[in-house]
Amino acid sequence: DIQMTQSPSSLSAYVGDRVTITCRASQTIDTFLNWYQHKPGNAPRVLIYRTSRLQEGVPSRFTASGSGTEFALTITSLKSEDSASYFCQQSDSTSLTFGQGTKVEVK
Amino acid sequence: EMQLVESGGGLVQPGESLRLSCEASGFTFSSYWMTWVRQAPGKGLEWVAKIKQDGSEKDYVESVKGRFTISRDNAKDSLYLHMNSLRVEDTAVYYCATFHSYDRCFDIWGRGTLVTVSP
């Protein structure tokens, strides 16, 4: 299976800050790298698919990029409602795997 | 509104069985691959199983192969997960989700149902 390693595991930042979460794959993957937001008690929500494509309805402050084994999600101007856990996920192999998650706290 | 609603979770003992259900509404269920994803307490998300639109293809994470069976009834817009020989480590919130076959992402999710396996 392709292992996905996210960093950091948690972060705390202020409203308006720019934050970046990284995701490293254990082997080179194609563009099938997705990012999800998950708030406790809610359904997870896809933010970004195919490395950098913004899901409909997701604010443009969420951007993402990457290639090979290194990928990143950036929130360009943090808002209070962005407090959540964020997960990367690869669909390059049939065995679908997620990163362990990054918990974002907005001060 | 596109919606998935899971049900069937509960408290069971190790070795017992449970069947989860997921009812879809607001979209054409039969057009989607469907999946189950779980999240154990304090852990990340883990894909569990997926099934093709017509049920002809199924796949599972290694840890549940031979114990869990995914199935669907397109006439009822419903997805199922039959879980046998449950283990303590199967304790998790189980989510059903659509899997977009072209973009290969989980694009519609339910809110989940909690399965607790405890002696």
pLDDT digits (tens, 9 = 90+) for B40-88: 999 999 999 999 999 999 999 999 999 999 999 999 999 999 999 999 9
Q: What pLDDT was estimated at residue A62? A: 98
Percent residues over pLDDT 70 in chain A: 100
Distance, CA of A105 to CA of B91 (rounded, Å): 26
* Cβ pair A87:B45 closer than 8 A: yes
> What DSSP string runs through B67-78?
TEEEEEEGGGTE
Q: Once rounded to an integer, what is the mean pLDDT over residues A11-31? A: 96
> pLDDT class for A30, splitting at 50, 70, 90?
confident
Contact assignment for A91 to B105 by CB distance below 8 Å: yes
- Give the amino acid at A8: P
Task: Give the whole-angstrom CA distance, residue B47 versus residue B3.
Answer: 19
Residues of B in contact with A98 (CB under 8 A): 44-47
pLDDT of residue B18: 98
**CA atoms within 13 Å, Cβ hemisphere of A72:** 9
> Dihedral of CA B81/A30/A48/A22: which sign?
positive
Per CB-CB distance under 8 Å, the chain B contacts of A94 are: 59
Whether residues A89 and B106 touch (CB distance < 8 A) is answered with yes
E strand spans, chain A: 4-7, 10-13, 19-25, 33-38, 45-49, 53-54, 62-67, 70-75, 84-90, 97-98, 102-106
* Contact across the interface for A43 and B95, Cβ inside 8 Å: yes
Distance separating alpha carbons of residues A65 and B69, to the nearest angstrom: 36
Percent of chain B with pLDDT over 70: 100
- Residue A3 has what pLDDT? 95
Tell me what pLDDT residue A57 has.
95
Report d(CA B55, CA B11) in Å as an integer.
29
Q: Please state the rounded mean pLDDT for residues A87-106.
A: 95
Specify the pLDDT at position A34.
Answer: 97
Q: Output the average pLDDT for chain B.
A: 97
Closest by Cβ to B103, choosing from A38, A43, A49: A49
Is 90 exceeded by the pLDDT of residue A106? Answer: yes
Which of B 54-113 lie inside 8 A of A, CB atoms? Answer: 59, 61-62, 95, 97, 100, 103-107, 109-112
Residue A73: pLDDT over 90: yes
Share of chain A above pLDDT 90, in %: 93
CA atoms within a 13 Å half-sphere pointing along the CA-CB vector of B90? 31
- Interface-testing mutation among A38, A73, A96, with chain B (most B C-beta atoms within 10 A): A96
Contact list, B43 vs chain A (CB under 8 Å): 100
pLDDT greater than 90 at residue B14 = yes
- Average pLDDT across chain A, whole number: 96
- Nearest of B4, B3, B31 to residue B100 by alpha carbon: B31
CB within 8 Å: A44 and B109: yes
What pLDDT, on the 0 to 100 scale, is given for residue B32?
Answer: 96
Is B45 at the interface with chain A, CB within 8 A? yes
